[in-house]
Amino acid sequence: MKTSKENPFKYKIRIVLIANIIVISTGLLSCNNDDGINSNSCENWSENFLSQSKAYSNASAIYSNDPSVTNCNNLKTEGLNYVNALEGVINCVPTVNLSEYNQDIKELKAEINSTNCAN
């Protein structure tokens, strides 16, 4: 298998960084109707986001303990689900943070997709 046990730790660091950006951004500038954003879409963003984050973290822990092809593929799947959850709250990210947020998502997605799970 060509994957490394270091990869899940890179993912975890990236998860923490992106999560911090979201939390800080939504704390500083919450969505409201004055922003031209549908506030209903920003009220419960954390529910799906945190659920996907936990699933991704669990998959990373499982892969770290047993770096099999199946667990690697599961890690990639959960990672991409996490990316989708991050993209799902993009309308809640303040414009000032949007470029960095999009870049972090792009890099995370590329890192996940470049992970080789084959033997």
When pLDDT is averaged across residues 82-88 and rounded to a whole number, the result is 89
- The reported pTM is 0.66
What band does 28 get if pLDDT is binned at 50, 70 and 90? very low
What band does 70 get if pLDDT is binned at 50, 70 and 90? very high
Asked if residue 41 has pLDDT above 70, the reply is: no
Contact 42, 89 (CB under 8 A): yes
For residue 3, the model assigns a pLDDT of 45
Residue 40 gets which letter from DSSP?
A: H
What band does 35 get if pLDDT is binned at 50, 70 and 90? very low
What residues contact 70, with CB distance under 8 A and at least 6 apart? Answer: none
Contact 84, 52 (CB under 8 A): yes
Give, in words, the CATH class of 1-19+46-119.
mainly alpha
Contact 53, 19 (CB under 8 A): yes
